[in-house]
């Protein structure tokens, strides 16, 4: 059984509108993910300022470039990523898409994340990564990205909330919802935003719109790992208020990682 080649610790918080506890969560998630693969850390930028319709753009762009460089130099075929906010996955998906033609994406999240700088009501970049990977990234980022994700290979699961720009993007690209009875095959990357979880079971969240049970989530990741060649898992938006909460939530992250490894690296 293959394992992940790289555990990317990507503690980006600048994309979130509720970032106060994300650094604690990112550190705890990175500690867990580092148990499963050699770890590399994306350095945080100290640049300030908004631009291109995105809050804290300078730091976000610096970190995106750093992540791209780490991924390219690593040569990793299979990447486990500990965020940070949801936008960390733009660089990861771009890398995996270059590495694995025909990559499918399963976006497990309570939110559509499909705004652009033009449609976002907040300017928070963690609400824009789906638009970015489909070809609608902020202008300075576009020349640095490869071929956009094929909308036919993109699948949502667990979404509950979207605003006008989000729903417009979903309609524009005819983005579908994952059928648990018809899981994708071939190379697959899972984006797992922890706010998809029911806050009654997993309260360590800045956004509490999710309805998915923890056991159901772990089982779904395991089933995808069984049916597909799972080449990536990114876990984001862990927002524990205390160190004790971080330890508690880390146990769920470990369960997700173990499920991803249940048959990871299935040969074709």
Tens of pLDDT, residues 104-147: 999 999 999 999 999 999 999 999 999 999 999 999 999 999 99
Of 244, 223, 230, 135, the closest CA to residue 191 belongs to 230
Task: Please tell me the predicted confidence (pLDDT) of residue 3.
Answer: 86
Of 131, 124, 141, 136, the closest CA to residue 13 belongs to 124
Whether the CB-CB separation of 99 and 24 falls below 8 Å is answered with no
DSSP 58: H
Q: Report pLDDT digits (tens) over 169-221.
A: 999 999 999 999 999 999 999 999 999 999 999 999 999 999 999 999 999 99
Q: What is the mean pLDDT of residues 87-98?
A: 98
Q: Where are the domains of the chain?
A: 6-260
Judged against a pLDDT cut of 80, whether residue 267 lies above it is answered with: no
- Per-residue pLDDT band at 2 (split at 50, 70, 90): low
Residue 132 vs residues 89, 140, 156, 197, 228: alpha-carbon distances, Å = 10, 11, 15, 24, 24
First-to-last alpha carbon distance for the chain, in angstroms, is: 13
Q: Which CATH class is domain 6-260?
A: alpha beta
Judged against a pLDDT cut of 70, whether residue 156 lies above it is answered with: yes
Cβ-Cβ contacts under 8 Å for 268 (sequence gap 6 or more): 186, 229
Q: Report pLDDT digits (tens) over 3-31.
A: 899 999 999 999 999 999 999 999 999 99
SS3 (DSSP) at 179: coil
SS3 (DSSP) at 130: helix
Task: Please tell me the predicted confidence (pLDDT) of residue 268.
Answer: 35
Average pLDDT along the chain: 95
Cβ-Cβ contacts under 8 Å for 101 (sequence gap 6 or more): none
Task: Please tell me the predicted confidence (pLDDT) of residue 262.
Answer: 85
């Amino acid at each position: 059984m293959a394992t992940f080649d790289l555990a990317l610790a990507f503690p980006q918080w600048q994309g979130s509108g509720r970032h106060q506890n994300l650094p604690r969560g990112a550190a705890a998630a990175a500690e867990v993910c580092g148990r499963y693969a050699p770890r590399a850390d994306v350095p945080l930028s100290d640049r300030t300022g908004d631009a291109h319709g995105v809050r804290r753009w300078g730091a976000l762009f610096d970190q995106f470039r750093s992540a791209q460089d780490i991924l390219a130099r690593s040569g990793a075929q299979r990447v486990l990523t500990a965020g940070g906010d949801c936008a960390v996955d733009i660089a990861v998906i771009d890398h995996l898409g270059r590495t694995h033609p025909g990559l499918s994406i399963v976006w497990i999240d309570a939110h559509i994340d499909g705004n652009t700088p033009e449609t976002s009501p907040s300017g928070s970049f963690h609400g824009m990564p789906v638009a970015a990977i489909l070809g609608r990234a902020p202008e300075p980022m576009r020349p640095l990205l490869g071929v956009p994700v094929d909308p036919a290979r993109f699948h949502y699961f667990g979404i509950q909330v979207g605003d006008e720009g989000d729903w417009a993007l979903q309609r524009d690209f005819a983005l579908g919802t994952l059928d648990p009875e018809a899981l994708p095959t071939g190379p697959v990357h899972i984006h797992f935003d922890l706010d998809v979880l029911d806050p009654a079971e997993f309260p360590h969240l800045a956004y509490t719109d999710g309805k998915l049970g923890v056991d159901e989530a772990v089982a779904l990741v395991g089933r995808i790992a069984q049916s597909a060649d799972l080449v990536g898992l990114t876990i984001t938006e862990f927002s524990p208020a205390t160190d004790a909460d971080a330890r508690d939530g880390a146990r769920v992250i470990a369960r997700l990682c173990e499920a991803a490894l249940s048959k990871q690296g299935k040969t074709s």
